[in-house]
Chain A
Amino acid sequence: ETGVTQTPRHLVMGMTNKKSLKCEQHLGHNAMYWYKQSAKKPLELMFVYSLEERVENNSVPSRFSPECPNSSHLFLHLHTLQPEDSALYLCASSQESVGTQYFGPGTRLTVL
């Protein structure tokens, strides 16, 4: 399935690095989401973009910076992360509020 793609699939970075995660959806949806999934914890919604406008920011630290240049692409820029930020970062998209959310395969991030 290639409806929602994410790159890279795996990323190891030091605390002083800057990196970006990329998400692309090929489903014509108008909303895109970033989630964080840590071990033994439920998925946590980080950011929501609707019609390319950020509409939700769930108290995410500023070391995570999202960007949505158009309705098909979503980025998550990372800088000066902490080891506790190591997790699976999932991108999703949907059409309207009640539409099913389709997830990308995720980026497994390790911060050393």
Chain B
Amino acid sequence: RKEVEQDPGPFNVPEGATVAFNCTYSNSASQSFFWYRQDCRKEPKLLMSVYSSGNEDGRFTAQLNRASQYISLLIRDSKLSDSATYLCVVNNAGGTSYGKLTFGQGTILTVHP
């Protein structure tokens, strides 16, 4: 089983649509969770951290279910500029002074006019 598993897509949605991405992780001791965004031929950039209570940033909502080891990202009112690859990321730092990020394969989103 992959440490972090995502549906690779691609997801093709019209502008204004709502789209949801899911991710599962295998290490129950994982400490922190993130969604990163990666544009074509660019570096990954942090989109948002994910907390157990759920968190929202504008049109983006992230949820974490530790019992099910499941993370989600919801994008409302999709924009053309949301087209990118969305990376589910898990940190298994485990008491170290540095991060140990494990990345999912990424979910490709294309928003069309």
Contacts and interface: CB of A to CB of B under 8 A. Distances in A.
Interface of A: 30-31, 33, 40-43, 45, 48, 50-51, 55-56, 90, 94, 96-106, 108
Given A41-B105, A42-B106, A98 B44 contact: no
A53 to B, nearest CB: 10
Contacts of A48: 98, 100
Contacts, number: 70
Contact of A105 (B32, B43, B99, B102): B43
A105 B42 contact: yes
A38 to B, nearest CB: 11
B85 to A, nearest CB: 11
17 contacts: A31-B97, A33-B98, A42-B104, A42-B105, A45-B101, A45-B102, A48-B98, A50-B96, A56-B98, A94-B98, A96-B97, A97-B96, A97-B97, A98-B99, A102-B46, A103-B43, A105-B43
B62 to A, nearest CB: 14
B31 interface: yes
A101 B43 contact: no
Contact of A97 (B4, B45, B93): B93
Contacts of B60: none
A42 B43 CA distance: 13
Interface residues of B, number: 26
Contacts of B100: 45, 48, 56, 97
A35 to B, nearest CB: 8
